[in-house]
Amino acid sequence: SGLPKTASCYESMFQGLVRKYNKHHKPEEALPNITPHTMRHTFCTRLAQAGMNPKDLQYIMGHSNITMTLNYYAHADYASAKAAMDKLAA
- Hey, where are the domains in the chain? 1-34, 36-90
When pLDDT is averaged across residues 55-65 and rounded to a whole number, the result is: 93
Taking all residues of the chain, what is their mean pLDDT, rounded to a whole number? Answer: 88
Listed residue (52, 51, 50, 42) closest to 72, CA to CA:
42
Listed in sequence order, the DSSP H helices in 1-90 are 7-23, 36-49, 54-61, 66-73, 78-89
Per-residue confidence (pLDDT) for residue 26, from 0 to 100: 93
pLDDT grade for 5, boundaries at 50, 70 and 90: confident
Q: Are 60 and 46 in contact (CB under 8 A)?
A: no
Q: Is 58 exposed, middle or buried (0-12, 13-18, 19+ CB in 10 A)?
A: buried
- Whether pLDDT at 1 is above 80: no
